[in-house]
Amino acid sequence: MSYLKQYYQSIDAILTRIVDEQEPTLEQAASIMEKAVQNGRSLFLFGASHAGIIAEDAFYRAGGLALFNPLFSPALMLNVEPVTLTSQLERLEGYGKIILNSKPVQAGDVVFIHSVSGRNPVAIDLAIEAKTRGMHVISLTNLTYSKDVTSRHSSGKRLFEVSDIVIDNFGEPGDATVSIESLSQKVAPTSTISGSFVIHSIVLKLIEKLEAKGKDVPIFRSANLDGGDEYNATMMARYKDQIHYM
């Protein structure tokens, strides 16, 4: 079997498992977000390094939820040089709390944290501090991977152990999935694809709940379609108290 076919089959199997086994969990996540939105509270997204791609994918984009606020730190993003700085800082205890302090978070807000291993202090710190502040913590992680490693946080906890709702990305330890004949290391990670599928699936569940109650659905239109800029400006003005990235 070709490497490409192996990768496709792995991705297909993961997405099928997410739909078949975790739809109730996605439903729970959407319910918490829907309640927060209706109460005027805010939704936040966080991930470090490649895990942060999910936050970039989900906010301020056509067809995406207008209310997702990213918790970005330049030192944890992939355009920092040297890029190894991201690995060092995601292990720096206390940094997650500093990142959370950079936004006007309140009790009743929701934070969605993506960390594949769930072992590094930045995500764990952020989750612990969020719960201290009365926020709801939803985590996306690889439970098989995370349960097989020790925490790098002084609490000894991993992300799934300090979260209200835990979504499993069903990946392999180390994330990559395709075995290569000439290599000991597998190739082709799955967490970005599965993570994007999860966050957009939660948005779809959220939309179902808002529509059922006859509420507005704050979704962005493409700025490259006629009327898109005007529509999006109206949307941002209507929800300005829940949007913190402008």
pLDDT of residue 208: 96
pLDDT reading at 226 higher than 90? yes
pTM of the model: 0.95
- The predicted pLDDT at position 45 comes to 98
Check if the beta carbon of residue 170 is closer than 8 Å to that of residue 198.
no
- Kindly indicate the confidence band of residue 152, based on its pLDDT and cuts at 50, 70 and 90: very high
Q: Give the dihedral sign, CA 150/152/162/138.
A: negative
pLDDT > 90: percent of the chain: 95
According to CATH, what is the number of the domain 3-212? 3.40.50.10490
* Rounded average pLDDT over 77-86: 91
Across 94-113, average pLDDT: 95
Q: Does the pLDDT value for residue 146 go beyond 90?
A: yes
Q: Is the pLDDT of residue 15 over 90?
A: yes
Domain ranges of the chain: 3-212
At residue 98, the pLDDT reads 94
pLDDT of 216 strictly over 90: no
Average per-residue pLDDT for the chain: 95
- SS3 string, the chain, reads CCHHHHHHHHHHHHHHHHHHHHHHHHHHHHHHHHHHHHCCCCEEEEECHHHHHHHHHHCCCCCCECCEEECCCHHHCCCCCCCHHHHHHCCCCCHHHHHHHCCCCCCCCEEEEECCCCCCHHHHHHHHHHHHCCCEEEEEECHHHHHCCCCCCCCCCCHHHHCCEEEECCCCCCCEEECCCCCCCCEEECHHHHHHHHHHHHHHHHHHHHHHCCCCCCECCCCCCCCHHHHHHHHHHHCHHHCCCC
Identity at 72, one-letter amino acid code: F
What local confidence, expressed as pLDDT, does residue 218 receive? 92
pLDDT at 150 over 90: yes
CB 203 within 8 A of CB 26: no
The pLDDT of 185-199, averaged and rounded, is: 97
- How high is the pLDDT of residue 246? 86
